[in-house]
Structure 1
Amino acid sequence: MKPFYLLLMVLWGILAFYTGHVIADHGFNLFPYLFGDMAEWTWPGQFNLDFMMMLFLSASWTEWRNGFSTPGLILALIAFLGGAGFLLPYLTYLAWKHEGDTAAILLGDNRMDRQ
């Protein structure tokens, strides 16, 4: 599993570098681009809608995994707004915390106790 965790961190590094370059050139205001493409009903808009649904699924899983708690809600909001920039290090942290136990990583501590 360690090669997988390394891959997660390499992907996060690439994303962080790319994001930094985009912010330097265009600033932080991504919403006009995101919603503007969707409003035009074009392929970039379809991709943005699809991506937004994936962000929703990531946030929903994060909230569910954390038992719909207040910290889980905060993490879910970060997951929705942060995308892979949140999910890649979060999964790496969980893998380290649970020593590679995939069930514990995906289900969380509370659900593992019920089995």
Structure 2
Amino acid sequence: MMLFRALLVVILVALSVYSAVVVANHGLNLLPVFFGDMAEMAWPGQFNFDFMGFLVLSAVWTAWRHQFSPLGLALAVVAFFGGMMFLTIYLLVVSYQVKGDIKALLLGQARALA
């Protein structure tokens, strides 16, 4: 679990630094660029469309893990728009909440106990 948590921290720090540089150079104008690349039907758009699939899976898993409760649905929205920045923090926090129990981490407390 410590290696997993270390990986999450490395990803979070690297992504934060990279994002800060991109925002400093290009501003927060992500959505027109993201969807514009997809509209062009070229490789950058294909990558964005593929990535959006991961965002959907992350959001659905987050909602499912919380049994589609209001909190789970709210977190799903954050997961979709927050991407890996959300997921690294979420998994770090939850990994400590479940005391490293991978079953509870993946399934949620209620399903892990069933």
Give the TM-score range, shorter chain. Answer: over 0.9
Residue in 1 aligned with 2:103?
A: 103
Residue in 1 aligned with 2:48?
A: 48
Residue in 1 aligned with 2:73?
A: 73
For this pair of structures, how many residues does the alignment match?
114
Following superposition of structure 1 onto structure 2, how do residues 13-24 of structure 1 map, counting pairs within 5 Å? 13-24=13-24
Residue in 2 aligned with 1:60?
A: 60
* 1:3 to partner: Cα distance: 2.1
* 1:113 to partner: Cα distance: 2.6
Return the alpha-carbon distance in structure 2 between the equivalents of residues 4 and 72 of structure 1.
Answer: 23
RMSD of equivalent CA atoms? 0.8
Residue in 2 aligned with 1:8?
A: 8
Q: Which amino acid aligns with 1:41?
A: M
SS of 1:68's equivalent in the other structure is coil
TM-score normalised by structure 2 residue count: 0.96
Return the alpha-carbon distance in structure 1 between the equivalents of residues 88 and 37 of structure 2.
Answer: 26
TM-score normalised by structure 1 residue count: 0.95
Residue in 1 aligned with 2:87?
A: 87
Return the alpha-carbon distance in structure 2 between the equivalents of residues 68 and 37 of structure 1.
Answer: 32
Residue in 1 aligned with 2:39?
A: 39
Identity percentage over the alignment? 51
Return the alpha-carbon distance in structure 1 between the equivalents of residues 43 and 6 of structure 2.
Answer: 33
Deviations 1:53-76, CA, capped at 9 Å, x for gaps: 100000000000011011111110
75-84 vs 23-32, greater mean Cα deviation: 23-32
Deviations 1:42-63, CA, capped at 9 Å, x for gaps: 0110000000010000000000
* 1:29 to partner: Cα distance: 1.4
Unpaired stretches in structure 1, ≥5 consecutive residues: none
